Structure 1
Amino acid sequence: MSGVTHDAQPRRVVLWALPRTLSTVFEKCMGSIPGVQIINEPYAFAYYFGPEGKVAENPDTEINKTLQAVMKQGEAVVGPDVKPGWFHESVCTFQWVKDTLEAPYPGKSLVFSKDQCYCITDKLHMIPRGFRHTFLIRHPHKVFPSWKRVNQDLPEPLCPKRYGYAEMCDLVEHTKQRGDRNPVLIDADDLQTSPASIMRQYCDAIGIPFHESMLQWPSGTDFLDDWIINSTFVSVNKISQNGGFYEEAFNSTHFKAPSKIPSRSELTDDILELVDASMPYYEKLYEMRIKP
């Protein structure tokens, strides 16, 4: 890409998101940039499955037994197809994640990592140095119903203590206190409605050129070969019913027009409880967003 140099130290950007916010689609978009190294959710794997993670802390709970069984099933089918950048969850300590993000990556012009904001809440000292922090939000009326469809039981056991939006507000404030005074924040509906405008502004904010080619990418999972990503995760998504948690994102080719925001009358009581707790934080974040 013209205008991007392959320095010894590439430009580094992290996108902090919540589940079901189109973050993997956004990641595919960024993966179309020549010279980029994508690092997919390393903190999330440290948080859940690494040696310091929730499964290791309480291996005998029913949900953690289920998670272990699913991961073992995925691990069993990885076989010889592991790519050079794929990592096993057994190495995924928070320090390993930080070191991996801060590694040199010679020949790369951009290191782009996507992760879940709440997975770093209790480990803020492990935030990597040298990164521009950016954020992706989506209306709670969309996030929680989508999350429930793939997770079944909300808020327990996988939903964070403060449902994610409060954790993201805290992370935004933390990065501001560390000197990142102008948060780069995108709302998923704005991105779907005006992808060229939003992506142009996003690229300008993080200091890379925008190209129209960023708005179209191939369907399928071949792109994963070049990512730094958990190997078992790749297999789990291939063998899971309906293609797994990320089937729609993996099959995407562009940003689709947004669906309408469900009304309160369309939401169940358990979802409304999460929505009502999260909405003040969402509204605060929404005011900071890049506007179309």
Structure 2
Amino acid sequence: MTSSRNAHVFLWAVPRSLSTAFTRSMESIDNVAIYYEPYGCADHYGPEGRLFSMDNSPAELEYTYDKVKASLEDKSLENKCVFVKDMGYAVHKRYDKIAKGYKHSFLIRHPIKSFLSYYNVMVSTGADDVDGDLSRWLPEGLGYQELWELYCYLENKNGKKPFVVNADDLLKNPKQVLQKYCEAVGFEYNDGLLSWDRKPSVEWNVAQSIWDIEPFYNWLSNSLTAGGFKKELSKPIPSIEELPKIVQEYVQISMPYYEKLNSCC
């Protein structure tokens, strides 16, 4: 069986793709250090980020791209198993800032489910301009285009296809999918990956700004406490005609990139 003694792995995702639940699952990997969206924090809250240009000042001065890269390449991690969950769009056009020495994997979800979930989060905040709030957080390519371009970059650079997980497959057959995932990235599978307690068993490396907005948006709450991957969470895909107009628009733009990534599963 493949050893997880010092495997270092990125999971690149799109928003609302069960990536937080996936991260909780990885707490069961022996000797693991977990990093939660360090590049995403640099993109949203750091001095070089997209949202910094919309706000008065960056909330996380230490989250520059160079410092994130350096922290993930630190020698103190050499004998650790490292799992980094991040958004593919966070490194768009900054591929030189991706930490070296890591295997790469991808998590996708059908755009209807992803964008509808995102839209519902915005509605739950009571935002006056739900469409505007949604577009503020998402990048120009809506996440799927950037994820596909990152996949192509890594495939060309490394000469092999990164492992891709579809969130619906994960919910329907979690053990089978996670066994294949672990084999692909160099982790040692154990059944503890299938479920987790309400309280995290491993302290995550995550910026304070991400925790600070959690009470308002509840990005993470369901995944943190869900307890595991359950088939009943895999619901049928709604008809696109039933969706809010902006969700329909985003789905239509993103579907070609989703289909390309899904063909790589």
One-letter amino acid matched to 2:204: W
Distance 1:3 1:200, change over 3 A: closer
In the alignment, structure 1 residue 164 sits paired with structure 2 residue 135: no
Over aligned residues, Cα RMSD in angstroms? 2.0
Query: CA separation in 1, counterparts of 2:40 and 2:187?
Result: 26
Q: TM-score, normalised by structure 1?
A: 0.82
Q: Deviations over 1:182-214 (max 9, x none)?
A: 220000000000000100000010122211121
Query: CA separation in 1, counterparts of 2:52 and 2:253?
Result: 29
Q: How does 1:213-224 map to 2 (within 5 A)?
A: 213-220=192-199, 222-223=200-201
Q: TM-score, normalised by structure 2?
A: 0.90
Match for residue 168 of structure 2 among 189, 192, 197: 189
One-letter amino acid matched to 1:247: S
CA contact (8 A) 1:13 1:111 kept: yes
Match for residue 174 of structure 1 among 153, 166, 170: 153
Identity %: 33
One-letter amino acid matched to 1:250: L
State the partner residue of 1:93. Answer: 64
Gapped regions of structure 2 (runs ≥ 5)? 123-129
State the partner residue of 1:259. Answer: 235
One-letter amino acid matched to 2:43: Y
Which shifted more, 16-25 or 179-188?
179-188
State the partner residue of 1:278. Answer: 254
Q: Deviations over 1:108-156 (max 9, x none)?
A: 4311000010110021110111111100000011011111122332552
Shift of residue 32 of structure 1?
Answer: 1.4
State the partner residue of 1:25. Answer: 21
Shift of residue 180 of structure 1?
Answer: 4.5
Match for residue 55 of structure 2 among 41, 52, 59: 59
Shift of residue 265 of structure 1?
Answer: 2.4
State the partner residue of 1:240. Answer: 216
Number of residue pairs aligned between Structure 1 and Structure 2: 255
Shift of residue 227 of structure 1?
Answer: 1.4
CA contact (8 A) 2:4 2:30 kept: no
Gapped regions of structure 1 (runs ≥ 5)? 72-88
One-letter amino acid matched to 1:267: L
CA contact (8 A) 2:19 2:107 kept: yes
CA contact (8 A) 2:9 2:185 kept: yes
Query: CA separation in 2, counterparts of 1:287 and 1:55?
Result: 33
Match for residue 99 of structure 2 among 119, 123, 128: 128
Match for residue 48 of structure 1 among 30, 44, 48: 44
Runs of 4+ in 1 over 6 A off after TM superposition: none
Which shifted more, 116-125 or 100-109?
100-109
Query: CA separation in 2, counterparts of 1:107 and 1:132?
Result: 14
One-letter amino acid matched to 2:3: V
